[in-house]
A and B are shown apart, each in its own frame.
Chain A
């Protein structure tokens, strides 16, 4: 433990302050072509005609690629996690968001590449776009995604479910019901380095890809799958990333750049403009979270009903995974034994959303914390004390029945209260994270408390 707490120099510190860190855009390979993409100007449309022949013949153009050039065009990045593939690398029959790539060009210089993009002939049949996730279940909402407007592959359900205990009992027993709606909005990660890739074909047929990805092995797998090549045909170089924050996990530029390099037999660089980065790249999703708590007059949260809608944008990407994480955390740092959670992944004609720090969890944390204060307001109780009373303690179980070994809710809340000079009642100041007992173990919390030493609560009875 010599390193923890020590002031060690960053291994890349000198390179950063001397301007010598090699970001992908700093990679210099003679003969590198410039790539530009043809992107859909429509939010939702069928593609009725696509003709790249004029573009291909322009002087200085070395390659044009469309869906026809991709060995496996539709590949699900998280198929291993049970999320089937839905998103094409390059659009074929239709487009689901403004900015969706349809074709890409590699040319000797940027001006030529842009002229080639302009020369691609494409015709669309526009469709009515769908933007408001709250209307996803309306029968006349315009459907554009092959699965409808709601992701249907949570097992046999079209939503992520958590059912625990007896939520109807809780709502009948409650002294008061507290409701709230929380709508954290989409956020763009906005790293200072935009999405960029350089792909270099080797004479032996392998490809070297200089990538800004946050996840080298993951991106390598994505490129290998789309190109249908074994992993040992690819060499990834990276790790110097000009900010990612989750926005560079999706491997947005590597594959198309690799395709262009393969087809042109030349090195190709694809650097997104700031406009592309802001308008097209994946963002943190917008969410709609409705929480209803069944609350006793003395501040116990007896049960919780939650409805979550998650705006996945035009394609699934990692959204089902994000909603699943969100579901795990929907009780927050608090112990609530009777639960009904439904989380829907909704498709809209917006840029597909993806990871950003705390994927899936920041949305539910925000909603839960705002809601806890709302509960306190309705009860006329101190919001610190409501939190401490319901806080996770050793032996309590989470929404999905994982046993808390050492939850920090109580000590952290008390430390924070002290830091800001909040005066709390004696009984609250004396609280610890120890296993519930006595007044802190009312009847309704008994079944959820795990036996000492257990890591998972196997069966507590109650409704499924």
Chain B
């Protein structure tokens, strides 16, 4: 069977019940989606299937034949450009250990595409509610998504620029 991942079509050799996550990570070496629980409970495996956020650990590859899969590797602009969402996560410190980040980014990306404009806190929480983060406490993640969508965030405290040059 064939699978389109981030715009490239691949012939898939893995057996039909191999999870999409397994195909991405083990056969195609697309490593951004993570194996956090393999039960659909944590959200680290989330990718887009035809533009919609799905748990890749729960989908057998046979069920997504012909679909367009998008992962974090498909965001941003080649070679090193960050998409607004990625930039917002980076400048807003929405990632600490980074393990939940790919899943959060894909779910957030799907939300913003669907909304077609600024989103508010309720919408972000609703879209990301199945994603666990053990590090950040979620506030900066939610703010980054709102900011990337062009919405208004509540800034906890204004940044203070250092004196002199910064490395």
Contact = CB atoms under 8 A, between A and B. Distances in A.
Interface stretch (B48-56, B96-104, B114-122): B96-104
A25 B97 contact: no
Interface string A1-14: 01101111110111
B31 A192 contact: no
B72 A15 contact: no
Interface in B13-28: none
Interface residues of B, number: 45
A18 B34 contact: no
B95 A25 contact: no
Given A19-B73, A274-B36, A8 B166 contact: yes
Interface in A10-29: 10, 12-23, 25-26, 28
A273 interface: yes
A449 interface: no
B42 interface: yes
A19 B97 contact: no
Given A17-B90, A242-B99, A274-B37, A190 B105 contact: no
User: How would you classify the secondary structure of chain B's contact residues: helix, strand, loop or mixed?
Assistant: loop
A241 B97 contact: yes
Contacts of A28: 29
A14 B90 contact: yes
A236 interface: no
Given A18-B76, A271-B35, A274-B38, A3 B162 contact: yes
Interface in A160-212: 189-194
A243 interface: yes
Nearest to A193: B99
Contacts of B31: 19, 22, 26
Contact of B38 (A16, A190, A273): A273
A192 B38 contact: no
A245 interface: yes
B86 interface: yes
> For chain A, what secondary structure do more than half of its interface residues adopt (helix, strand, loop), or is it mixed?
loop
A25 B31 CA distance: 9
A25 B134 contact: no
Interface-central residue, A3, A271, A274, by most chain B CB under 10 Å: A274
Contact of B132 (A9, A25, A192): A192
Interface string B31-49: 1111111110110100000
Interface in B74-117: 75-76, 82, 86-87, 89-91, 93, 95, 97-102, 105
Nearest to A273: B38
Contacts of B37: 274
A19 B33 CA distance: 8
| Residue from the set A6, A8, A240 with the largest chain B CB neighbour count within 10 Å | A6
Nearest to A3: B162
Contact of A242 (B34, B38, B160, B163): B34
B109 to A, nearest CB: 12
A189 to B, nearest CB: 8
20 contacts: A5-B162, A6-B159, A6-B160, A6-B161, A10-B90, A10-B93, A16-B95, A17-B82, A17-B90, A17-B105, A18-B72, A18-B76, A19-B31, A19-B101, A19-B105, A25-B35, A192-B36, A194-B36, A242-B99, A243-B134
Given A6-B161, A19-B72, 16 more contacts: A5-B160, A6-B162, A7-B161, A10-B95, A17-B72, A17-B82, A19-B73, A22-B31, A26-B31, A192-B134, A193-B34, A241-B97, A242-B99, A243-B99, A273-B38, A274-B36
Please give me the 3 A-B residue pairs with the lowest Cβ-Cβ distance, nearest first: A19-B32, A16-B98, A242-B99
